Structure 1
């Protein structure tokens, strides 16, 4: 397996000690879940490579459990897939990154998905069932609904959860429902392990406009699914920022949306929010991590439209702005960051966070499979 020249495996005994400490410690221990700040530790760019003749890329989701890292590709052409990776690090930075296994995700009939039937975006390992969950944006313009799907670690489908009716694709009049390429993007296991949180990237059409350069009322819905009953029980609204930068060089495309969530304590989340503007040589992405408090929010499950509704939205506080480390990253590029998870603790007991980017298989311009490592400051 290829590795960056500066990241060959060293200090084997020390690394084994570090990697054996995973994030499955008591979540209710004093101060375990306090997050006051994030300290940037290191970046690693996963080199171009194939597994079984299939390119590694589109890394839109990441999770960790029991010394295994799971990376989801957002390729919508078969094989729909996730990877298993070996990733080790210390407080000085990454020490080893290797992707050696690819698993195809099958459809409900146990065969390969046809092209365009799913658009995978987020992945989580369920420690209570030893299964994997992933979200799919579907294809709204083609009438394919967003989905939350449970699979085995060998890629066989177990179930697809029933989602609220207003999450379904609307190809009739385009006045309600999810926006194409702006549907289910985020996924987190609940802190109590009793359910899952799923999040939209953009507002439903009836909830408000897509964010623009000026401030708009653009809320996205974050929904709790009870894993036992499979029923949506709660939902809250999260307000998106405006687009960070105007488009450049005569181009005109902009977007800002929620790309991942992570519940780290009851009703306390990390939210990865990414703005993109076309025409920039640095890639055009502006990415932030917010701390989000949903403890006082309104339950919006039964509210048909959030536009003008009298609701209490989640409270968001900026935790980290990737602009502060742009100069330290490869090609000064904050790439298409889409996944976030906790990893094994550092040797001093501090929690670690990894963020991963989707390189879009460099379909538009050269992009990176970028891993960024943080230390949690309590």
Structure 2
């Protein structure tokens, strides 16, 4: 009996030591970052300058002018493809009001509106030189490729394209193997390195984007129990020459809740220059919407830019590491189609604000929901 107690004692201590070691390892890997929920706000359904304000799938903050830009994923069906300028005011740690101040229509290099269906704008990131980067998912049904481009805020005209590796693009011929983004699952996330947002015009900066779900060639078989593989791209934009993709990493989606119909990575937000991000994963199923917020680090992740396809066995590939920060299912109210993240101005208590916005899908039964958090980092 004494031997049994001794063995049990040793086993418990080994487990405890292992748990402590894992916790210590995680502390070394991740900085101390946390979020506290503060408030929610519902943007009323409205029309602004003959456009329906809806489908807001991305949010970014212009610190210089204390304004936000929210992109609409309208494929020029209700009005030309566009983004809105929002004025957001806090009262203490609450959202007092959000006012639509302006709308900017995206235009081609020649100053024309994008034809209907040719742009599915999902992500937006404020950039130096009074510009924004936007990401478009494309449309596989119409053989339209995705893109990530830079637009002038004042004119709405496209100024620059980020070169996409061929693996993200659709096949050019019938003989070519199936590849590229899948329909409505293309580039959803878009962010700049925090120091890049504030860089003087002419300084190099970094841009990051990711697909919502796996590429066609990376899709796992239906019976697989492995995590969905998402590709995360890292660019450097220089004042001279073309932007350069300098790295690519593997992001693994969390296991979705039971009854999920659709799940994906809807946003990533760079929060520290050393390679730390917030990621937003959103699921939709029989019980409605759910979402989770993670802290992500690039440290020690394998550069997968030379990997054309991901098979079931990842081998020695090291994906991006992530840590759960907040599960939106813990809130005592319904959440909607959360798709955008933005760090905003500081609150009255000096803490950093973090905003999460939902896409109402131009559906009368859904709402544009803005959630306010305190970001502690």
Cα 1:48/1:205, change in 2 over 3 Å? same
Cα 1:217/1:89, change in 2 over 3 Å? same
Cα 1:199/1:211, change in 2 over 3 Å? farther
Contact 1:211 1:240 in 2 (8 A): no
The aligned counterpart of 1:202 is 213
Give, in angstroms, the shift of residue 141 of structure 1.
Answer: 2.1
Matched residue SS, 2:141: helix
Give, in angstroms, the shift of residue 225 of structure 1.
Answer: 1.2
The aligned counterpart of 2:22 is none
The aligned counterpart of 2:5 is none
Equivalent positions of 1:158-197 (< 5 A) are 158-170=159-171, 172=174, 175-193=178-196, 194-197=205-208
The aligned counterpart of 2:374 is 375
The aligned counterpart of 2:21 is none
Give, in angstroms, the shift of residue 52 of structure 1.
Answer: 1.7
Give, in angstroms, the shift of residue 192 of structure 1.
Answer: 4.1
Larger Rg: 2
Cα 1:210/1:79, change in 2 over 3 Å? farther
Cα distance between partner residues in 1 of 2:96 and 2:179: 48
The aligned counterpart of 2:250 is 237
Give, in angstroms, the shift of residue 34 of structure 1.
Answer: 5.5
Out of 280, 303, 309, the position equivalent to 2:307 is 303
The aligned counterpart of 2:235 is 225
The aligned counterpart of 1:322 is 328
Matched residue SS, 1:323: helix
Cα distance between partner residues in 1 of 2:319 and 2:232: 11
Contact 2:93 2:348 in 1 (8 A): no
Out of 256, 262, 287, the position equivalent to 2:269 is 262
Give, in angstroms, the shift of residue 285 of structure 1.
Answer: 1.1
Cα distance between partner residues in 2 of 1:89 and 1:167: 40
Give, in angstroms, the shift of residue 210 of structure 1.
Answer: 8.2
Give, in angstroms, the shift of residue 174 of structure 1.
Answer: 6.6
Cα distance between partner residues in 2 of 1:210 and 1:271: 25
Matched residue SS, 2:75: coil
**Which runs of 5 or more structure 1 residues have no equivalent in the other structure?**
1-32, 248-253
Contact 1:211 1:255 in 2 (8 A): no
Give TM-score, length-normalised by structure 1: 0.82
**Which runs of 5 or more structure 2 residues have no equivalent in the other structure?**
1-29, 197-204
Cα 1:174/1:46, change in 2 over 3 Å? farther
Give, in angstroms, the shift of residue 255 of structure 1.
Answer: 1.5
Moved more, 228-237 or 114-123: 228-237
Give, in angstroms, the shift of residue 43 of structure 1.
Answer: 0.5
Deviation string, structure 1 residues 125-171 (Cα, Å, up to 9, x no partner): 11x32211100001122111110110111211112221111111237
Equivalent positions of 1:43-192 (< 5 A) are 43-65=40-62, 66=64, 67-77=66-76, 78-126=79-127, 128-154=128-154, 155-170=156-171, 172=174, 175-192=178-195
Cα distance between partner residues in 1 of 2:152 and 2:319: 35
Matched residue SS, 2:110: coil
Cα distance between partner residues in 1 of 2:348 and 2:221: 43
Contact 1:72 1:83 in 2 (8 A): yes
Moved more, 234-243 or 189-198: 189-198
Q: How many residue pairs end up in the alignment?
A: 327
Contact 1:170 1:178 in 2 (8 A): no
